[in-house]
Structures are given as C-alpha cells and as structure tokens.
Chains A and B, each alone.
Chain A
Amino acid sequence: MKKNWPLWEVFVRSKNGLEHRHFGSLHAADADMALKNARDVYTRRSEGVSIWVVESKNIKASNPEHNGEMFEPAADKAYRHPTFYDLPDDVEHM
C-alpha cells in the first residue's frame, strides 16, 4: 500500500448547482495531478464547472462509535424546526 499515491476527495459544482458536492475519491501524486484526474474521471459527461480536491487525510471525520452522543440528542427536539409559527398570508415562497 505504501507505493500507492495518496487518496484525494473530489468535490464538483455542477452547472446549476450552487455548491460543490462530494463526488468520490481518487489517487494522485499531488494536488495538480488530483485536479486533472478528477477532471478526467468525474467530469467527462459534463457534470461540472468547478472542481475542488482535498487530500483525504486532511479530513477530520466524526467517529461512528460516538453517533449516540453526537446525533441522537437532536432527534427529539422538534421545536428546533421552524414549524410552530403562523405565517402571515403575505409571505410567499415558504
């Protein structure tokens, strides 16, 4: 495994999209190569107009073992959703 190029995560913004979305990952020797590889692997069917790459090791991920304390407490806090207000009739597009 040591001989492999490092892994990179690829984020692509599509034509109509406002934000970059995670598309997948690939191997590359450095950032320049990662960008070119991402172009060749992930945008060959006109999927995007902008690419970000970041080396996977630079991403700090939450530990699935801690999902209990991380995410479950939010599950019964329905009042955090703005659904308890009466909207005036004049407010459109909500």
Chain B
Amino acid sequence: MTNQNLIKYIYGIADNALILGQRISELCGHGPTLETDIAMTNIALDLLGQTRSYYQYIAELSKEDITEDDVAFLRKEREYLNVLLVEQPNTDFAHVITRQYFFDEFHFRFLEQLQESQNVNLQAIAKKSIKEVAYHRQFSRDWVKRLGDGTEVSHEKIQLAVSNLWPYTNELFMTTNDDVAAINSNHGIDVSGLKNDYFNQVAEVLNEATLKIPDLDFFQKGGKKGIHTEHMGFILSDLQYMQRTYPNMKW
C-alpha cells in the first residue's frame, strides 16, 4: 500500500462524515421541534468532529504542507469520495431520518471493525467515534419506527423516503482499488463483509416499522470514485464559499 492509497482510503471514510454532517447542519434551526432540532445538530457536530480527526491525520500523512482546512474546503468535486447516499437532499424529515438510518446502520458496523485496524490512528478514531454513532443509530432507528408505525401521513412519507433512498444503500458495500490496497495491508476493513448483516438488520427494523422494502435490483453508484449526483456541487458551493471567497481566512 502506498501513502496515496491510504490517504484516499481515509477520504472514503471521512468524506461521508463531512458531507452528511454538512447536510444535517443545513437543518440547524429548522428542525420540526426544538428537541429534534438540537438532536440533529448534535449529530452533525459529532460527524464534523470525526471528520476533523480523519483530516488532521490526512494532513499529517500528506507530503505537502497542508492543514485539515485545505483538505475540507479546497478540493474539487471529483476529489470527494463520499457515497451518494449522504449527499441526498433534506427533502423532508422522513428523508432526513431514512438517510440517517441507512447510513448509521452501516457506520456502526464499519467502526466496529475499524477498531481492529492495524493502523493505530484509525483504530483510535474508531474507538472514540463508535459511542457517538451508537447513539445516532438508536435515534434514527427509533424515528424510523415512529414514523413508519405512526400516522397514515407519516407512514406514507417515510415509505416514499425508503423507496427513494434504497437505491443508494448498496454503494456502501463496494470497494475501490484504494480500499483493496488498505484491506490487504490490514489498515482498512472489507465493507463487503458487512453487507448481509446490514440488510438483515435493516429488513428487521423496516418490518417492525410496517414499511415495505423496495423490490429493486438496480442500485446507484459512483460517489466512491468521485462521480457525484447533481446535489454535490450545491453542497460544496455552500461548504467552500468562505475559503474560496476569502482565501486563507481564519476564525
């Protein structure tokens, strides 16, 4: 494994947390109730905190003289390696919760394994993050059940969200060339091994929430290779605005 492999492998992890964190941050002050608003903002902050740890490590690994801010704010769209799921819009609360749940169920399993990584930095980040993510999963799982098994309207809305977001689940378990290099050197973990358990668990929760699993065999992919949906550019223009407009600006 080269240094470049490892950096790109870490981007594949960290960019998910950055973009999902950014997406949820958009909701700050707009949550359906004060309590859920604060809860979602807490989750966004957790994710951005995790992102910082990964990016600081990337800056350390890089041969160039860069900081975590350069990594977060100054890359081009094709250089972000997050999955398509996390960039999907905040259509409504049902979509926000479903996107979160689909990601959390993956994220928890992923971090569980990453704790076993031979890479001590990744291992340490995973150990710190997994408690946060255990709570995220509890929160989103709970809301999937509440909305699914709630009123007629809430059921209809979250069923639509499940149908719309389902095609983005499969990409979570795909591996890139950099992933393979990281796995072979025991730094990375093989996400394809998490797939069966993930879909079994999701099926169980959706079933309890009286929701139907879409009957689909076509799945979206591309994010892990830097090929994003049309939403990504808008996210980045928001995210990068300050650094692009006032280069090297500091708080």
Chain B interface residue number, banded? 10 to 19
**Cα-based distance from A32 to B146 in the complex (angstroms):** 11
Contacts of B35 in A (CB 8 A): 26-28, 37, 40-41
Q: How far in angstroms is the closest Cβ of chain A from B180?
A: 39
**Cα-based distance from A33 to B35 in the complex (angstroms):** 10
Query: Are the C-beta atoms of B142 and A40 separated by less than 8 Å?
Result: no
Query: Are the C-beta atoms of B39 and A37 separated by less than 8 Å?
Result: yes
Query: Are the C-beta atoms of B139 and A5 separated by less than 8 Å?
Result: no
Whether A29 is near chain B, meaning CB under 8 Å from some CB there, is: yes
Of B33, B42, B135, B142, the most chain A CB neighbours within 10 A belong to B33
Query: Are the C-beta atoms of A40 and B33 separated by less than 8 Å?
Result: no
Query: Are the C-beta atoms of B33 and A5 separated by less than 8 Å?
Result: yes
Contacts of B33 in A (CB 8 A): 5, 27
Q: How far in angstroms is the closest Cβ of chain B from A36?
A: 6
Query: Are the C-beta atoms of B42 and A44 separated by less than 8 Å?
Result: yes
Query: Are the C-beta atoms of B146 and A40 separated by less than 8 Å?
Result: no
**Cα-based distance from A29 to B135 in the complex (angstroms):** 19
Of A37, A40, A44, the most chain B CB neighbours within 10 A belong to A40
How many A-B residue contacts, CB cutoff 8 Å? 29
**Cα-based distance from A28 to B34 in the complex (angstroms):** 10
Q: How far in angstroms is the closest Cβ of chain A from B178?
A: 36
Q: How far in angstroms is the closest Cβ of chain B from A68?
A: 37
Closest to A34 in B: B35
Contacts of A37 in B (CB 8 A): 35-36, 39
Q: How far in angstroms is the closest Cβ of chain B from A76?
A: 45
Q: How far in angstroms is the closest Cβ of chain B from A7?
A: 11
Q: How far in angstroms is the closest Cβ of chain B from A30?
A: 9
Q: Contacts A26-B35, A27-B33, A28-B35: A36 and B142 contacting too (C-beta < 8 A)?
A: yes
Contacts of A41 in B (CB 8 A): 34-35, 38-39
**Cα-based distance from A76 to B35 in the complex (angstroms):** 45
**Cα-based distance from A33 to B142 in the complex (angstroms):** 9
Q: How far in angstroms is the closest Cβ of chain B from A53?
A: 12
Contacts of A26 in B (CB 8 A): 34-35
Contacts of A32 in B (CB 8 A): 142
* Complex interface residues of chain B between 30 and 62 (CB less than 8 A to chain A): 33-36, 38-39, 42
Contacts of A5 in B (CB 8 A): 33
Q: How far in angstroms is the closest Cβ of chain A from B138?
A: 8
24 A-B contacts (beta carbon < 8 Å):
A5-B33, A26-B34, A26-B35, A27-B33, A27-B34, A27-B35, A28-B35, A29-B146, A32-B142, A33-B142, A33-B146, A36-B39, A36-B138, A36-B139, A36-B142, A37-B36, A37-B39, A40-B35, A40-B39, A40-B42, A41-B35, A41-B39, A44-B38, A44-B42
Q: A residues bordering B, Cβ < 8 Å? A: 5, 26-29, 32-33, 36-37, 39-41, 44
A-B CB proximity, top 4 nearest: A37-B35, A40-B39, A40-B38, A41-B38
